[in-house]
Amino acid sequence: MTVPISLKVNSEVYKIDVGTNETLLEVLREKLKLKSVRRACQEGDCGVCTVLLNGKPVNSCLVLAVSADGCEITTLEGLSQREDFRALAESFVRNHAVQCGYCTPGMIITAYYILQSMDEVTEETIRKGLEGNLCRCTGYANIVSAVKDAYEQRK
């Protein structure tokens, strides 16, 4: 059974029919072909599939697409079009926070949210904010440094 929904994804409105059991991850990746939204654990444990849903980070593997009807979704493709994204991306490169790159879209989306939503960004608030985003390559120190560096660059 399918139902029609409307999603605003990266500033573009999509009217699409989705299965009642389809996840937002499946719709974004398979139907809308947004490759930064990656599939991994499908249990909400790793953060690889993180997107902004109405401005807040969510694991898209845990969100039924029908429940996102009328919502605004931002993926890494959408963030990359924003002026304030460049400094964060450059900070990830400068601080060697990208290794294999699989977790990077989810990490950057979460880091972007941290920088936009917190008045004071410290190592502790960064680590707390990144909980739920797993990385097997970096050991997190460089990711934390990248977020802190991006915060200091914007002051």
Angle at 105 between CA 19 and CA 128, to 5 degrees: 105
> Phi and psi at residue 21, in whole multiples of 5°?
-110, 5
pLDDT tens by residue, 101-130:
899 999 999 999 999 999 889 999 999 999
Q: State which fold the 85-154 domain adopts.
A: DNA polymerase; domain 1 (1.10.150)
pTM, two decimal places: 0.94
| CATH 3.40.50.300 for the 2-75 domain, yes or no | no
Task: Give the three-state DSSP class for 28.
Answer: helix
pLDDT tens by residue, 52-103:
999 999 999 999 999 999 999 999 999 999 988 999 999 999 999 998 889 9
Give residue limits of the domains in the chain.
2-75, 85-154
Alpha-helical (H) ranges within the chain are 24-26, 76-79, 85-94, 104-117, 123-129, 141-154
